[in-house]
Chain A
Amino acid sequence: MDYVPNTEAQLAEMLRTIGARSFEDLLSNIPADMRARGLDVPSGLSEPEVLALAESLAAGNRSVRELSSFAGFGAYHHFIPTAVDAIASRGEWLTPYTPYQAEASQGTLQMIYEFQTMISELLQMDVANASLYDGASSFAEAGVLALRAGARTRLLVSDTVHPHYREVLATYLSGFACTVQTIPHVNGVTDLEALAAAMKDDVAAVMLQQPNVFGCLEPMEQAGELAHRAGALFVANVYPISLGLLQPPGAYGADIAVAEGRCLGSPLTAGGPGLGLFAASQELLRRLPGRLVGCTTDHAGQRGFTLTLQTREQHIRREKATSNVCTNAGWLCLRATIFLSLLGPAGLRRMAELSLQNAHELRERMREVGFEPSFDQPFFNEWTMRWPREEHAGRLLRRLERAGIVSGVPLAEWYPMQERDAVWCATEQTTREQMDRLCRAVRA
């Protein structure tokens, strides 16, 4: 099956209009010895056959809805109101492209303007862009921005930042003349003394995460002060839902705030697509990566919206652009805009409160069945716990897996000192029944 509307007879007629004797005439530029002799791809399928194939593949998966999931680690299962899917599935949202022709794209442009406003508000920052690929690429772009902003060549990154984000940053920076220095943690949070000692006048930025990878709340205000005292930028990677309750980056002086925004109305989908949020202070406006939408007027004086400040971008500036990003995560940005409209300040706060409450309830219960908190720090909805029993921690996790439980994420791969630790998560989706199931499975 294919999606070509023209019949073979029409295609032949069109070839005659073109003045070609055959289709092969159109390929005269292609050397004959380079022509493909059929593809190593199976034959096509009808729609019912494809559905059957996809069903058989889906049968090999178990969704978090069928299991009891306590995994977070940068990917959070939050409620998605029905209206999000209902609106976002419209073809007018799903099938246009980057709004180069403003007048024929006012829907997308106004939506992005509303999105930029909501994200600026949520993060309490001056300006937000139209989004990047995902949280990790936003984090990496923040590092690139800091390095390109001046002559400073060192980034200080706390080792409590999600390890995958630090890996992506390292990949992006290979080839840059710069140093990425990791700041250690003490009792689950960034070691401020070590950070202070590392602050030199070659530091371009200090990069922290709130809540951090262990779930602990970082002393963002103090870290930001240390950065600013040395003339460095302060970059905060945050968790959008937590900002219903926690201080936003703007309140503790972040110059750049980045986040994974998938939790705002988009499904987990094994971690992608994501929604890279990127916001900054006014001073950095012309250094921002990615698209920006501005409000303006049309010739008749009516309000209208358009892409703007495009001289930062690759299609104008080519190798001198602030980033190579071409597009944004438009469809997820739409979903986040609908989601935040539905929740409003009260709904966001309630979602955050329920996540916080469930997390603290579950940690208490896990303590009762033998886990020990690894750190003594306040936390939002993720926390790290140690399995101190004789049974190997890995064995416990396999036991839980068989009981249909998606456990917390073991940390040993990145933190050898945390060999028996895993980071656990609860959201407003976590039920008492799921908590009971986990505790029963641990005791069994």
Chain B
Amino acid sequence: MNGGSELIFEQSVPGRCGVTFPPCETERPLEQLIPAGMLRRQPPHLPEVVEFDVVRHYTRLSQRNFSVDTHFYPLGSCTMKYNPKLNERIAAWSRFALLHPTQPASQTQGLLRMLYELEQLLCGITGMAAFTLQPAAGAQGELTGLKIIRAHHRAKRQNRPVILIPDSAHGTNPASAALSGFRVVEIRSGPDGMIDLGELKRHLSNEVAALMLTNPNTLGLFERNIAAITRLCHEYGALVYLDGANMNALLSIVKPADMGVDLLQLNLHKTFSTPHGGGGPGAGPVGVTAALADFLPVPRVRKTGERFRWDARGRRSIGRVHAFYGNVGVLVRAYVYIRTLGREGLERTSRAAIINANYLKAKFSTLVPIPFDDHCLHEFVASLKPLKASGVTAWDVAKRLLDYGYYAPTVYFPLVVEEGVMVEPTETESKATLDAFADAMARIVDEAREHPEWLKLAPQRLAIHRVDEVKAAREPNLRWRPDAKSAVANEASSLQTG
């Protein structure tokens, strides 16, 4: 059974094609142009379908997705806010979308100005001195930041092999540090979910290159001692890297530079509303203090008078992290968003995001424990541990929420909360949506006690039931394979078209 999930390959009929091309005036014989040994012998088994097949197939598939446009998507730490249509419209204009990366600056002054201004806007929002827009995602921003940290210490002729990372950090932090050749040392959070100054002090030494921290942290709490933390690190000659994934909590409230951090990445697909696209592309610009600006990747956009240009020089630069200038299409959307909101809109955004999170937390706190029950910022983490008495896990609750028409919060993260669910409503959800979501959660908590099997079997109301992830991992099936019959058909069609 395939439950309506027929693959595009299974709709293939030999000899069909969904595109047409203009004729070619003078066609030279292929064998005169390419040596026979270099020519492909077997065409790829791609689907042979017409345009309407493709449109219906991928439209139907789209309807098997929950998305921000269609469902409340309170995925903690991912800031699933509304993605304005205006941003899409402008990014699709050919004078942005159809620029070639090697075009001379004389033909791309508008784009260069936009990128230059975007860097300035991000400086204005964060208080940092300079930005690179090159990193293609948050994790690549982290990698860029770590290379800058390494370059900084090398310039001082210091070998510092250690990066300190709190146990509540995103998994990308330790992975990026390891990919940059650092040794990761984990810092245990204190009983209040925050960095414990004593614990930090114990781990600081002249071996430490930097502390990577997230603020507000992944519990949605502002590190109260941030000033002391950054001061302490600096005393030991270590830098402080801020994972800016949670910037949606801080707009117009705290400029990260004022915390004393030396560098950070921003996730434009989170705070600055560029669409997540089912997993990307995002953008992870990195901002630094003036002391680190020379280490930023090249090329940089420069302004001379009223003219803009790319500058690929940079003796102290860590080098390129992207083939060209980063995810320009994403940067255009973020620029449009920031200019639309402006100073007042940014202020209202974080304020409403924080009120929405606290409001939902207040409603949740009557249902389940909130282990670190302080006022949160943009998100909070609840624990579903009490439901375990009836055999129900956070994973089951997540699946049951799908039945109620809500995407599930992030579960089992951060690791410091048992049976954790991390909820981030964002500012773009209405009070009515939050009320309905809290009601659904209340019903599910009741169900967990009275009908735990409903949760164990969830979801029941979607196109498919719970998928067997264990089987997927045990017997990896990562691609469709044509059976013998269709393989023969494909060969035959290639003979016709060849």
Contacts and interface: CB of A to CB of B under 8 A. Distances in A.
Interface in A386-430: 401, 406, 409, 413, 428
Interface stretch (A133-141, A149-157, A180-188, A436-444): A133-141
A97 B245 CA distance: 15
Interface string B270-298: 00010111111110000000000000010
Interface string B327-365: 111100000101111111111110110111011011100
Interface in B451-498: 457, 459, 462-469, 471-473, 476-480, 490, 493-494, 497-498
Contacts of A413: 312
Given A34-B254, A101-B407, A175-B180, A343 B327 contact: no
A325 B282 CA distance: 12
A36 B258 contact: yes
B86 interface: yes
Contact of B258 (A2, A34, A75, A244): A34
Nearest to B318: A171
Contacts of B201: none
B208 to A, nearest CB: 15
Nearest to A243: B40
A17 B435 CA distance: 12
Interface in B380-417: 398-399, 402, 407-408, 410, 413
Contact of B67 (A92, A176, A325, A349): A92
Given A14-B355, A75-B102, 7 more contacts: A20-B375, A79-B19, A97-B73, A97-B276, A133-B140, A271-B100, A273-B327
Top 8 nearest A-B pairs (CB, nearest first) are A175-B181, A271-B324, A44-B342, A91-B69, A60-B110, A331-B277, A271-B101, A330-B279
Contact of A106 (B53, B279, B322, B464): B464
Interface stretch (B25-33, B232-240, B442-450): B25-33
B243 to A, nearest CB: 12
A3 B44 contact: no
A267 B98 contact: yes
B95 interface: yes
B45 A121 contact: yes
B171 A269 contact: no
B109 interface: yes
Given A101-B66, A104-B462, A41 B342 contact: yes
A127 B124 CA distance: 45
What's the interface size class on A, roughly? Answer: 35 or more
B136 A171 contact: no
A108 interface: yes
Contacts of A83: 18, 51, 54-55
A89 B27 CA distance: 37
Interface string A3-28: 11110001101110111100101111
Contact of B467 (A175, A260, A298, A315): A298
A102 B469 contact: yes
Interface in A343-377: 343-351, 353-354, 356-358, 360-361
A269 B96 contact: yes
Given A61-B96, A268-B100, A344-B46, A134 B323 contact: yes
24 contacts: A17-B362, A30-B224, A39-B343, A44-B340, A64-B99, A71-B100, A95-B73, A98-B278, A101-B408, A106-B65, A107-B65, A111-B278, A164-B320, A175-B147, A247-B37, A268-B98, A270-B111, A272-B281, A296-B471, A298-B3, A303-B1, A325-B137, A331-B277, A353-B30
Contact of B17 (A75, A317, A346): A346
B467 A97 contact: no
Contact of B497 (A29, A175, A318, A346): A346
B255 interface: yes
A197 interface: no
A248 interface: yes
Given A75-B324, A77-B98, A87-B59, A327 B341 contact: no
Contacts of B336: 50, 54
Interface string A129-148: 01101111100000010000
B480 A133 contact: no
Nearest to A11: B355
B483 to A, nearest CB: 13
B68 interface: yes
Contact of A314 (B45, B171, B349): B171
A398 to B, nearest CB: 8
Given A64-B98, A108-B279, A269-B97, A244 B40 contact: yes
A246 interface: yes
B324 A270 contact: yes
Contacts of B15: 346
Contacts of A344: 12, 16-18, 46-49
A328 B280 contact: yes
Interface in A36-58: 36, 38-45, 47, 50-51, 53-54, 56-58
B375 A29 contact: yes
Contacts of A110: 5, 7, 61, 64
B428 interface: yes
Given A99-B278, A175-B147, A406-B100, A301 B1 contact: yes
A241 interface: no
A158 interface: no
B75 interface: yes
A87 to B, nearest CB: 5
Contacts of B377: 26
Contact of A357 (B1, B24, B327): B24
B279 A17 contact: no
Contacts of A194: none
Residue of A128, A174, A406 contacting most chain B CB atoms (<10 Å): A174
B80 to A, nearest CB: 6
A378 B38 contact: yes
B70 A92 contact: yes
A293 interface: yes
Contact of A97 (B7, B170, B252, B279): B279
Interface string B206-249: 00000000000000011010110000000000000000000000
B90 interface: yes
Contacts of A296: 467-469, 471-472, 477
B100 to A, nearest CB: 5
B40 A248 contact: yes
A105 B184 CA distance: 34
B222 A41 contact: no
Interface string B105-134: 011111101100000010111010000000
A342 interface: yes
B209 to A, nearest CB: 10
A319 B327 CA distance: 26
Contacts of B356: 6, 14
Contacts of A351: 21
Nearest to B65: A107
A310 B470 CA distance: 11
B375 A25 contact: yes
B80 A343 contact: no
